[in-house]
Chain A
Amino acid sequence: GPKVLQIPSHQIIDMGQMVTLNCDPVSNHLYFYWYKQILGQQMEFLVNFYNGKVMEKSKLFKDQFSVERPDGSYFTLKIQPTALEDSAVYFCASSFLVDTQYFGPGTRLLVL
Chain B
Amino acid sequence: GQQVQQSPASLVLQEGENAELQCNFSSTATRLQWFYQHPGGRLVSLFYNPSGTKHTGRLTSTTVTNERRSSLHISSSQTTDSGTYFCAIDPNTNKVVFGTGTRLQVLP
Q: Which A positions have Cβ atoms within 8 angstroms of B?
A: 33, 35, 37, 42-45, 48, 55-56, 58, 89, 91, 98-103, 105-106, 108
Tell me if B90 counts as interface (CB < 8 A to partner A).
Answer: yes
Q: How far apart sit A99 and B98, CA to CA, in the bound complex (Å)?
A: 15
Which B positions have Cβ atoms within 8 angstroms of A?
30-31, 33, 35, 41-45, 48, 86, 88, 90, 93-101
Give the top 10 A-B pairs by smallest Cβ distance, nearest first.
A100-B48, A103-B43, A56-B94, A43-B98, A45-B96, A56-B95, A105-B42, A42-B98, A55-B94, A45-B95
Q: Which residues of A contact B95 (CB under 8 A)?
A: 45, 48, 56, 58
With contact pairs A42-B101, A58-B95 given, residues A98 and B45 touching in the complex (Cβ less than 8 Å) = no
A-side interface mostly: strand
User: If A45-B96, A98-B90 touch, does A103 touch B45 (CB 8 Å cutoff)?
Assistant: yes
Residues B41 and A89 in contact, CB atoms below 8 Å apart = yes
Look across to chain A and name the residue whose beta carbon is closest to the beta carbon of B90: A98
Minimum Cβ distance to chain B for residue A5 (Å): 12
Given A44-B98, A45-B96, A58-B95, also A103-B41 (CB < 8 A): no
- Cβ–Cβ contact A98 & B43, under 8 A: no
Set of chain A residues within 8 Å of B97, measured between Cβ atoms: 45
B41 with A100: CB separation less than 8 A: no
- Chain A residues with CB under 8 A of B42: 103, 105-106
Complex: A48 Cα to B31 Cα, angstroms: 15
